[in-house]
A and B are shown apart, each in its own frame.
Chain A
Amino acid sequence: MNTATKPEAIKDASMLKQKEMIARNYDALTGAPESGKKIVSTFVPGNLNELINSFGLLNNLPEINAINNGMRKQSGAMIMDAERSGHSEDVCTYVKADIGMMSKGNIAPNGKVMPPPNLLLLSYTGCFTFMKWFELLRKEYNCDTVMLQVPYTGDGVITDNMRNFVVKQLKEEVIPALEKTSGVKFDIDRLRENMARSAKAEDDLVWVLESAKNVRSPIDAYFGGVYYIGPIFTAFRGTQDAIEYYQLLRGEIEKRMQDGLGPVTPEGDMGEEKYRLVVEGPPNWTSFREFWKMFYDEGAVVVASTYTKVGGVYDEGFRHDPTNPLESLADYCLGCYTNRNMPSRVDLIEKYMNEYQADGLLINSIKSCNSFSAGQLMMMNEIEKRTGKPGAFIETDLVDPRYFSAANVKNRLESYFQMVDQKRRSTRTA
């Protein structure tokens, strides 16, 4: 292995910037008791970061903590703890990792204790589990809770009734709760400023994701993609940091394109691009590196993924709009990927298959997540029917290591790549 393949050699400026942002955010969260800052716990899809920030509140996302614990191989024990205390083996492992983390002292990734939240903001977009998750947390923390119900777009459209309902809840439930927690009066201009910053960062994010339309994609839009969406999906949307991060990232990718390079992997620049895939479903976090390696070792690049739309679908034109801040926040929540109905999800994947010139669709079906998983087999069949390209189905879990069988996944992927090869050969001869 030459030096260029060592992980240290591939730390781009954007990566360092993101690392520093995350560390700073965890320090702010764990330092809240000293700084006097207040913490709002909320969820990634449909999060109201611009609004939360406009009150000077900190944003803690339990899914991100679960992901962190998954990547650091600590979630397995946390999940088992939660199951021992009566939580079913059948339910979402994010919930159990979160509850298990509490029973292990609520230690944040920086090694310090995560203080309890001052407010649970249940922005319930695209998943029913959120609702009961926060009821469980409310019992543990005994703190204020406010709920934002985001209607499901069952007919594939956002109606006025849905939008008005969300806006009304923002005005009459969420904002008063944030005012109470923060002691700060709502300032719509501050919100507008945050949203304008969001839109700027979103422009660059879309540019980055769409760079994968190039044949010889400069990015991996799934394994790399989860890093690229980090700031915009979490505590940084609406901040200057996010703008700077995406500018840096865009610059780096522009450079990769000029140099004719493929995606960055943990082992350096990726070799030849042999397969272009669209991936549906979240990744597995407990064996993330091992999982990724199974792709880049085979020359498989993910050119588009639906998981990178779970915290907002921006590539269809949506931007946070400072001129209509509350309506725009409502549209953002309503439009997140898992809040879209099945036909819309299939249409989006079909579009990706065509626009990104993909060789096939791979579904990583997650045991934990009915929101994503229920219906995926039908989605695969629909896509195969519509595009004539082969689909493949693998099953893993988010943060429960018991459900990642490396040998099975690898076998499945290898036969899938053979299938893609065969399909190509038959298309060429036809």
Chain B
Amino acid sequence: MSTAEIIARCEELYEDTTFAASRAWKEAVPGRKVVGFMPVYIPEEIIHAAGMLPLGILGGGDNLEVIHGDAFYQSYICRIPRSTIELGLTGRLDFVDGMLFPSICDVIRNLSGMWKLMKPGVYAKYFDVPQNYRDDIGGTYYQNEMQELRHDMEKLSGNTITDEALNNSIAIYNQHRQLVRDVYAMRSAEPWKVPSSEVYLVMRAGQVLPVEEHIVMLNEYLAAVVKEDKPIRDKCRIITCGSFCEQPPLNLIKSIEMAGCYVVDDDYMLVNRWLMEEVPTDGDPIKSLADAFLHHSADSSAKYCDTQEKVGQYLLDSVIKNKAEGVIFAAPSFCDPALLERPLLSAKMSENNVPHISFKYAENSGQMQPIREQAGTFADSIKLWS
């Protein structure tokens, strides 16, 4: 398959706000169940090991007309909860048997309770994670939370989740995470061959497809990219940061590229890359997942940084590793975690002479001209001064 064919399929999945692919998976075998989850991270392995499909819900994007959702939120609250409510109220999520709302911010947190009120018959859970990274404190707490989730998933699916099944799911997700890392590494090495908008669409497909199918897709994409023959352009290498929850419109991602930037790292859909190292598959699976979370997981604004020295280090490390020449802070309007952390991150970049700019977006932003101009000026200034 060519990259164009793969991307066309991904685009179709991206634009489909009825989640037809996930519905088809469910309908293929009687008794199958689907569990939706919101950003930023949940241990998908637990859902998978119960034989259910984890479905990443990232709002309605710019394809969905929000009619009811706006009546649920004031103008000064970000967009993703209102479009998610819209998805819920318009029947687009009627095939979803459970919803998980991970610990990321107060908006998603409160949405978990709104879901309970809105859909009393549907399983809905706020899934908490530790901000204390000691094994005997945060680790113990987290293991117990995961056991509770495991128990709930067993009940929801009607299947027992054995340690063996869970270790097997971890192995599959390890394979998936490795391929995701490979795609990112390939983009960083040869960004002219791997446009950011393509990586975005390929990763997005992973939110609605079964992991096994997405593994095939990632393999195909990696194989197809190698065959690509695209010219190297005089663009600067940048990282986008702050888009870990509400997603920018695809046009925005394309606009940054068109403005003269190669995006060599980003934080879209962190769930695919949250656990950064291979998780052991031969021990107590819940403990393995907890250890990975505490000691080898991605950093984001939704996490507490326990020492001053470490603040923003993840971004600086990425700048160094990916040889980035600048950072674009792109956060959704009214996004508390991203916007509160932004001054800390930008200070870290300034202290290390990494050029950076900031802007805000909404998932349905339509006007790209100002962003293109801002990113273009930024790219020009990097080229001029570096």
Q: What residues make up the interface of A, taking CB atoms closer than 8 Å to B?
A: 85-88, 90-92, 95, 122, 124, 127-129, 131-133, 135-136, 138-139, 142, 145, 147, 149, 151-152, 154-155, 159, 161-162, 164-165, 168-169, 172-173, 341-346, 365, 367, 370-371, 373-378, 382, 395
Contact = CB atoms under 8 A, between A and B. Distances in A.
Nearest to A172: B137
Interface of B: 71-74, 76-77, 81, 101, 103-107, 109-114, 116-118, 125-128, 130-132, 134, 136-138, 140-141, 144-145, 148, 301-302, 304-306, 308, 311, 333-337, 339-344, 346-347, 360
A86 B342 contact: yes
B308 A142 contact: yes
Given A122-B304, A154-B127, 4 more contacts: A132-B340, A151-B128, A159-B148, A375-B113
Contacts of B117: 342-343, 346, 378, 382
Contacts of A85: 343
Contact of B106 (A133, A344, A370, A382): A370
A377 B131 contact: no
Contact of A395 (B74, B101, B340): B74
B299 to A, nearest CB: 12
Contacts of B110: 342, 370-371, 374-375
B235 to A, nearest CB: 27
A95 B116 contact: no
A154 B344 contact: no
A330 to B, nearest CB: 12
B333 A90 contact: yes
Contacts of A371: 106, 110
Contacts of B113: 154, 341-345, 375
B126 A95 contact: no
Nearest to A89: B339
Contacts of A135: 304-305, 311, 341, 344
Contact of A147 (B107, B148, B304): B304
| B contact patch SS | helix
Contacts of A154: 101, 109, 112-113, 125-128
A373 B334 CA distance: 13
B74 A373 contact: yes
Most buried by B among A95, A169, A341, A375: A375
Given A129-B336, A139-B344, A173 B311 contact: no
Contact of A373 (B77, B111, B304): B77
A165 B343 contact: no
Contacts of B304: 122, 124, 131, 135, 147, 149
A288 to B, nearest CB: 21
Contacts of A173: 132, 134, 137
B140 A168 contact: yes
Contact of B116 (A127, A138, A341): A341
Contacts of A346: 117
B28 to A, nearest CB: 32
A137 to B, nearest CB: 11
Contact of B343 (A86, A131, A152, A377): A86
A374 B346 contact: no
Contacts of A139: 308, 311, 344, 347
B159 to A, nearest CB: 22
B141 A165 contact: yes
A218 B107 CA distance: 37
Contacts of B114: 342, 375, 378
Contacts of A159: 148
A328 to B, nearest CB: 19
Nearest to A95: B340
A155 B116 CA distance: 9
B112 A129 contact: no
Contact of A136 (B127, B141, B148, B340): B340
Nearest to B118: A378
B111 A129 contact: no
B131 A131 contact: yes
Nearest to A90: B334
A370 B336 contact: yes
A129 to B, nearest CB: 6
A127 B342 contact: no
A165 B346 CA distance: 34
A238 B339 CA distance: 37
B132 A149 contact: yes
Given A88-B339, A90-B339, A92-B336, A374 B81 contact: yes
Greatest chain B CB density within 10 A among A91, A154, A344, A374 is at A374
Given A377-B72, A395-B74, A138 B308 contact: yes
Most buried by A among B77, B110, B116, B339: B110
Contact of A169 (B106, B132, B302): B132
Contacts of A155: 125-126
B311 A91 contact: no
B338 to A, nearest CB: 9
A147 B131 contact: yes
A131 B118 CA distance: 29
A29 B104 CA distance: 34
B101, B111, B132, B311, most chain A CB atoms within 10 A: B132
